Amino acid sequence: MNLRRDLSEKVLIADGAMGTLLYSYGVDRSFEELNLSHPDDIVAIHRAYIEAGADIIQTNTYSANYIKLSRYGLEDDIKKINQAAVRHAKEAARGTGVYIFGTIGGINGANDARIAAPSLEEIKRSFREQLYCLLLEGVDAILLETYYDLDELKTVLKITRETTDLPIVANVSMHEPGLLQNGQTLASALQELADLGADVVGANCRLGPYHMSKALETVPLLENAYLAAYPNASLPQMDEGKVVYQTETDYFEQYGEIFRQEGVRLIGGCCGTTPDHIRALRRGLNSLEPVTSKVVHPILELAELDVAEDTGVRLTDKVKEQYTVLVELDPPRTFDTAKFFEGAQELDAAGVDAITISDNSLATPRISNMALAAILKHEYDIRPLIHLTTRDHNLIGMHSHIMGFHKLGIQDVLAVTGDPSKVGDFPGASSVFDLRSVELVQLIKKFNDGISYTGKSLKEKARFQVAAAFNPNVLKLDKAVRLIERKVEYGADYIITQPIYDTEKAVQLKEALVEAGITVPVFVGVMPLLSSRNAEFLHNEVPGIRLTDEVRERMREADKTGAGCEEGMAIAKEILDSICAHFNGVYIITPFLRYDLSIELTKYVQNKEQIVEISSQN
């Protein structure tokens, strides 16, 4: 048996989906664990694909790595699960001459946003562990499949090539035919993978046979690698709560020959495909002889993208030179918006640089902040800074919202996770969390390149500046600052913090940022206290806010004389003194629409600016 020789001489047929056939065991369990608990079923599926005409079967190890198995408490069984998977495949293929591919699936792009995203080092460590397990069991080749993140695939491909001389198949996944998620063309991505040492490069998952064939029309035959195609059976649909795929195989049959004509040497199936689909693919081939030339239909070259209109001095430019004040006003919970707009106008007249509008803070439903932001901008000529949570919007909704922001001319966005739904007025509501906040930052910045989440051209470039949230009220600030590093790495232009109630916190934050080499602007939060009761509520019940014992005691004493609000403002000004000594960015959170307090604090900061200017002139 010689896989490279066979690929050079003929078209090979691979198997189809494993998970589709294991779906009946439940979606809330690890399909890879079935290698241990249901070995006969795994062997039977392999044999069904071999009987259907597959020249190649892949091990049931797509998610058999530390990162994914740990979600089921199976991280200690990695070796056993991978060993069993290879042995089951060998048992099914014994005496048939069928090749066995050790399968390793992608990690980025398919995560639960409520689970911390693994670092690249964690991915590499997890990948190596699984790779060694498969190699020690003696697979014939390594199949890297369902990688939406090209950088991740290139990283693990390099590791694989450095580790083994076995053939490697590297498959990307696309949302849009012919385009990767990062906007790169399929043709250029596959050439990169071939240059890194992959023997076979191609695509799998997400697209059905029609769109996958259209994507491959844009790819020329490569000199240093063969092409592969593993389409889904169709787009999935829901039937009585279950995900199902179209089962008609006659349609699938015609694509065996279509893929061969596009120069594909390795044809298999992905989600929704069964032995009947593989049988149909083989039946549809007019010949196993590979084609050696083809007509390439490149993706149409788009005209140069338009760029959104420049709306003047950006917050990040001003804050580098002088004090810059952002003030948050919560959207109303009712239709009565009079006080909100009254406050916004008063704040604007006082010289506030932007009004920030939360996105259902504390999971409490309020008037759409997009609607309020649009009114502020277009009716009052006030700059809005709009919050967008990953809690309330799924990926489709977020994409649509961001497109809406762009067309409304709203260019300043704070990307946040959002408080869990259970803390709000509707505890029965669900939290979406399709993306992590860092991924939302990354998504918004892609719009500046005129690229959608799927990599598709938007025909216009946005001009978003994206803020990321940070909570400095932690015990080990230096370690927490690493989160800022990551958000900046994902594209954050500046940072907005939770309110602080300790003058030393601003000093500590500045030192930690300097030590970490973080230079993006930071707007440090301050929120005036109204009473001791207000202080205790914030300290004990609001996530991310901590008050010092001294501040709480001062508020308790002030309440005894009815001077709680005055003391709260005195504390806020002390905090502002510390902030302004180390930062130019100030973020004032207005309590209960008491915008008069925010105006007083804004003027306090402006007075500092005037003192600095006078001092510099003298």
Are the beta carbons of 345 and 380 closer than 8 angstroms? yes
Query: Buried b vs exposed e over 438-459: b needs ≥16 C-beta within 10 Å?
Result: bbbbbbbbbbbebbbbbbbbbe
Residue whose entry in the numeric block shows the structure tokens 């279950």: 242
Q: Which spans in 428-502 are helix H?
A: 437-447, 477-489
Phi, psi for residue 35 in degrees, rounded to 5: -60, -30
Residue whose entry in the numeric block shows the structure tokens 């920030």: 356
565 labeled binding residue: no
Nearest CA to 475 among 450, 446, 508, 503?
508
344's tokens: 């916004």
Are the beta carbons of 411 and 465 closer than 8 angstroms? yes
133 labeled binding residue: no
Residues 6+ apart with CB under 8 A from 300: none
- Check residue 524 and report its DSSP letter: E
Nearest CA to 364 among 411, 426, 318?
426
DSSP E strands in 294-435: the ranges are 306-307, 324-328, 354-357, 384-389, 412-416
271 labeled binding residue: yes
Query: Buried b vs exposed e over 9-19: b needs ≥16 C-beta within 10 Å?
Result: eebbbbbbbbb
Q: Which spans in 448-529 are helix H?
A: 477-489, 503-516
- What does R_g of the chain's alpha carbons equal in angstroms? 29
Q: Which spans in 101-166 are helix H?
A: 120-136, 150-163
152's tokens: 């991740």
Give CA–CA dist 161/149, Å, rounded. Answer: 19
Could you give the C-alpha distances from 50 to 13, 58, 274, in angstroms and in order?
10, 11, 12
CA 506, chain centre distance (Å): 30
Give CA–CA dist 97/93, Å, rounded. Answer: 7
Binding residues for Zn(2+), as ranges, are 205, 270-271
Binding residues, as ranges, are 205, 270-271
